[in-house]
Amino acid sequence: MSLQLHDTRSGEKRVFKPIDPERVTMYVCGPTVYNYAHIGNARPAVVFDVLSRLLRHHYTLVYARNITDVDDKINQACIDTGRDSEDITGEFTEAYLEDMRALGVAPPDISPRATDHIAEMCTMIEGLIADGHAYEAEGHVLFSIESFDAYGELSGRDLREMIAGARVEVAPYKRHAADFVLWKPSTPELPGWNSPWGRGRPGWHLECSAMIEKHLGKTIDIHGGGQDLVFPHHENERAQSMCAHGGAPFVNYWLHNGFLNMNASKMSKSLGNVMLVRELLEQADGEAIRLALLSAHYRQPLDWTDATLPDATRKLDRLYAALKKADEAAASAALVDIDSTQADQLAELKQQHLRAFMAALEDDINTPKALAELFAMARAINRSESPAEQLALARALREAGALTGLLGKAPEAWFATVVSHDDAADDIEAAIAQRTAAKQAKDFATADRIRDELAAAGVQISDGPDGTTWRRVAGGS
Ligand code: AMP
Ligand code: ZN
């Protein structure tokens, strides 16, 4: 295989060479669990789930995604609600895992929680202090960025610019404006652990460094997360880990996903423009949300609009319709009469499609191109008149689907959740038939009225090459 991945540090796409093909290591920064995941938070989970499937296809992978369960924002949530930290983080860890399951995200091999690794973090801090990379000041322990020559290398930031930029509001106990916290004091009401520097809690960056060292090792193959984490989070993780390990490389490939935007702004809790995964799951199947998240290349921004989910659902309708057609053809035809030449041709046809699909995924996880290959397979099924050929193509489509975490349902199950479990289905079908007749008679006013009435009743219809499909959407009266 010739997997190429874009590495943030070198700024280029490089052929992926694992340190050990028997144990490829990947770490992705997971959620801070104090409220529900929004669809932007789901983007890295889904993107790196696809990469994990691709890597597992070729290698033995150990994939870790952490849970940040100690953090200022969690503490603020405790203060705001009067609830215990474990109570809040327990609830939202469960909610996160449930939401990701609904999006078809397979659980990583390891899901370490920060609070289970306080001892490892303290050990790392002690080593950093002993080697002159960190210092204690007023109950805090700070990392000294001047002790690490390569600081700024990952994010391409110049230390001098950072000094100039950070001159205001620098805590008095810092030796250098850009030094960052490894440990800080905690108040009696808030979570805290005894340490050589008093009762306190770890800095966020340190959590990941300690969990990576413990579960994956000193040098790992791949580290992922959203683009907002490049600086300071990943820059600081890298500084801590390399200094704790005598300068050993920390990460060979840094991967960062672009933002999911709404109305041209990054979706984020602080901007208040969030759509929660669980709200969207009321409007559409998790598989449609997943396809929507994969419809843009992971490094590009992804604009989320009202049309995103209906569009993704229609695309899945097309893919499942092709699978349904192939399944039906296979069930009704006698497939036994294929000679070996035909069998070879069909195997080659299947491989041709799979090769094109794999080439797309292996080109820095080009999911839009990979999805286009899925549609090419569906079109080939629709055009084919040979049940054996349709079956071979359907197998290719299902195998490719599995690598993207799509098309795992039986077509009947997909269409059943969309249409049949609905008592009013007959009335809706009848209204659609009337609308189709009105359109054919060029009575567009009637056709539009029927569509509007259905929309008001929470039924959204879509016209496609195979006729009109419909589904219930949230928001109808
Ligand atoms: P958080 O829970 O805020 O630490 O975020 C969890 C993950 O979601 C991190 O990898 C973030 O980089 C990522 N993330 C947060 N907001 C967005 C967004 N709007 N688009 C893409 N990724 C995001
Ligand atoms: Zn991290």
CA atoms within 13 A on the CB side of 338: 18
Identify the bridge partners of residue 256 per DSSP, sorted by sequence position.
225
* Top mutation candidate among 39, 41, 265 for ligand 1, by most atoms within 8 Å of CB: 41
Confirm if 367 and 295 have CB atoms less than 8 A apart.
yes
pLDDT higher than 80, residue 467:
no
E strand intervals along 144-278: 180-185, 200-202, 220-226, 251-257, 260-262, 265-266
115-152 pLDDT, tens per residue?
Answer: 999 999 999 999 999 999 999 999 999 999 999 999 99
Q: Per-residue pLDDT averaged across 279-283, rounded?
A: 96
Tokens of 307: 């049309």
Angle at 429 between CA 428 and CA 435, to 5 degrees: 90
Task: At 197, give phi and psi (nearest 5°).
Answer: -110, 20
Q: How far is the CA of 9 from the centre of ligand 2 (A)?
A: 16
Give CA torsion, residues 449, 451, 457, 459, to 10 deg: 180
* Confidence category of residue 427, pLDDT binned at 50, 70, 90: confident
- Give the residue with greater pLDDT, 251 vs 427: 251
Q: What is the pLDDT of residue 475?
A: 43
Q: How far is the CA of 97 from the centre of ligand 2 (A)?
A: 18
Q: What is the pLDDT of residue 420?
A: 36
Whose alpha carbon is nearest atom 2 of ligand 1? Answer: 31
Ligand nearest to the CA of 223: 2
- CA-CA distance, 183 to 195, in Å (whole number)? 9
CA atoms within 13 A on the CB side of 262: 16
* Confidence category of residue 421, pLDDT binned at 50, 70, 90: very low
Q: How far is the CA of 40 from the centre of ligand 1 (A)?
A: 6
Q: What is the pLDDT of residue 264?
A: 85
10-47 pLDDT, tens per residue?
Answer: 999 999 999 999 999 999 999 999 999 999 999 999 99
Cis peptide before 232 (omega within 30 of 0): yes
Q: What is the mean pLDDT of the chain?
A: 93
pLDDT higher than 90, residue 170:
no
- CA-CA distance, 183 to 204, in Å (whole number)? 9
Whose alpha carbon is nearest atom 21 of ligand 1? Answer: 259
Q: What is the pLDDT of residue 457?
A: 80
- Other C-beta atoms lying within 10 Å of the C-beta of residue 442: 8
Q: Is 228 in the pocket of ligand 1 (CB under 6 A)?
A: yes
Q: What is the pLDDT of residue 270?
A: 82
Whose alpha carbon is nearest atom 14 of ligand 1? Answer: 41
Q: What is the pLDDT of residue 338?
A: 82
Q: Is 277 in the pocket of ligand 1 (CB under 6 A)?
A: no
377-412 pLDDT, tens per residue?
Answer: 999 999 999 999 999 999 999 999 999 999 999 999
Tell me the C-alpha to C-alpha distance, in Å, between residue 10 and each of 156, 252, 300, 324.
10, 10, 18, 45
Q: Is 18 in the pocket of ligand 1 (CB under 6 A)?
A: no
